[in-house]
């Protein structure tokens, strides 16, 4: 079973995450930030990863700590669920349109975290969430999960569409990367024999 539970408590946030990489896209998410919840639900639905998130943070200050720490803990949970397993595809890519917007994501579950973020927003907020925090979420997740992650919005106007296409493209690319390849079910997907 490729599942994991991770909890993290700091003076700024308290986060609980559970994932099942072989789920059906069921989600139960409450971060206190409505638009982040919406994106995490879309991520779960399109990656087919079952996801439960409970986050309490210092939202009276702003959403930064909650957004970043949620990315950290989800990334840790994905890494933990993959730990010691073999046979997964490792690479994934998706290009997802949403109305006038199109975003491309390519990723490698390499164990070597890196983020390329080529996304520009037309507004400073989507709902009550600062658009600059989306990069923080993807950065935190890629670092803690050990994912080389490239996110590029090719074109788009509506900030809601831009960010939603990012999360959906990431979900589909990750779904592809974690899929078990029946031709290499006992094999680590690296010529080195290890990832990282």
Secondary structure tally for the chain: helices H, strands E: 4, 10
- Confidence at residue 159, expressed as pLDDT on a 0 to 100 scale: 97
- Confidence at residue 85, expressed as pLDDT on a 0 to 100 scale: 84
The model's pLDDT over 37-96, given as tens digits with 9 standing for 90+, comes to: 999 999 999 999 999 999 999 999 899 999 999 999 999 999 999 998 888 999 999 999
- Confidence at residue 182, expressed as pLDDT on a 0 to 100 scale: 85
d(CA 170, CA 127): 21
State the helix-helix crossing angle for 34-47 and 64-82, rounded to 10 degrees. 20
Domains of the chain in sequence order: 3-184 (3.30.230.40)
What value does the mean pLDDT of the chain take? 94
d(CA 17, CA 88): 22
The model's pLDDT over 24-40, given as tens digits with 9 standing for 90+, comes to: 999 999 999 999 999 99
The model's pLDDT over 166-184, given as tens digits with 9 standing for 90+, comes to: 999 999 999 999 999 887 7
- Confidence at residue 181, expressed as pLDDT on a 0 to 100 scale: 86
Instruction: Decide which of 195 and 97 is more confident.
Output: 97
For the chain, give the percent of residues with pLDDT over 70: 94
Beta bridge partners, 104, equal: 95, 152
């Amino acid at each position: 079973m490729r599942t994991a539970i991770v909890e993290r408590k700091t003076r700024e946030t308290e986060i609980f995450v559970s994932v099942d990489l072989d789920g059906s896209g069921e989600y139960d998410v409450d971060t206190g930030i409505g638009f982040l919840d919406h994106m995490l639900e879309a991520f779960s639905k399109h990656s087919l990863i079952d996801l439960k998130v409970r986050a309490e943070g210092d939202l009276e200050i702003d959403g930064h700590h909650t957004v970043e720490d949620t990315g950290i803990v989800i990334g840790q949970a994905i890494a933990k669920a993959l730990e010691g397993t073999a046979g997964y595809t490792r690479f994934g890519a998706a290009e997802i349109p949403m109305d006038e917007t199109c975003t491309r994501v390519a990723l490698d579950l390499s164990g070597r975290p890196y983020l390329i973020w080529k996304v520009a927003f037309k507004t400073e907020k989507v709902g009550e969430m600062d658009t600059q925090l989306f990069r923080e979420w993807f950065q935190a997740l890629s670092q803690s999960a050990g994912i080389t992650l490239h996110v590029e919005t090719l074109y788009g106007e509506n900030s809601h569409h831009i960010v939603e296409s990012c999360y959906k493209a990431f979900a589909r690319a990750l779904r592809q990367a974690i899929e078990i390849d029946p031709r290499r079910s006992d094999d680590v997907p690296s010529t080195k024999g290890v990832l990282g």
